[in-house]
Amino acid sequence: MLEQKDVNKSVIEESDDINNKSLGKNEELMGTDVSNQNSNEYKSIKPNFIDTLKASLIDLVVIGGISAVGVFVADAILKLAGYSITQKFQMGFIIFMVVMVLYMSIMESGKKSSTIGKKISGLIITKG
């Protein structure tokens, strides 16, 4: 009876060893695949303050220009109907906020996924 228990234990231990070895080989194979994939990807470099500041300022200038044109176009259209915008600064601020949200959303969701300022500064957006 004791011999039978010892044989069962040794058989169970051997099957566990075989399973562990096969799991180890699978993990090694998966590890090589992952490392090959990572070697083909771009290395991420954290952008410095000057580059991000330059990109933000360029984007603000572009958004400000679009907003200014928008205010004058809206005023011209309203003048055709007999109305005018008396508080251009306040209207410009509202248009600036709308343009800023749309500009960032549209430019960063496109194929290049970058705003004009980020393109000029050489910054690349990656999905984390």
Give tens-digit pLDDT for 47-62.
889 989 999 999 999 9
Using an 8 Å Cβ cutoff, are 109 and 102 in contact?
no
Q: Read off the tokens for 78.
A: 């309203």
Average pLDDT, the chain: 76
Other C-beta atoms lying within 10 Å of the C-beta of residue 117: 22
How large is the average pLDDT for residues 122-128?
76
Give the CA radius of gyration of the chain: 31
111 φ, ψ (degrees, to nearest 5): -65, -40
pLDDT at 63 over 80: yes
pLDDT at 32 over 80: no
Taking the domains of the chain in order of start, what are their residue ranges?
1-40, 49-121
The number of angstroms, rounded, from the C-alpha of 20 to the middle of its chain's C-alpha atoms is: 39
What pLDDT sits at residue 9? 56
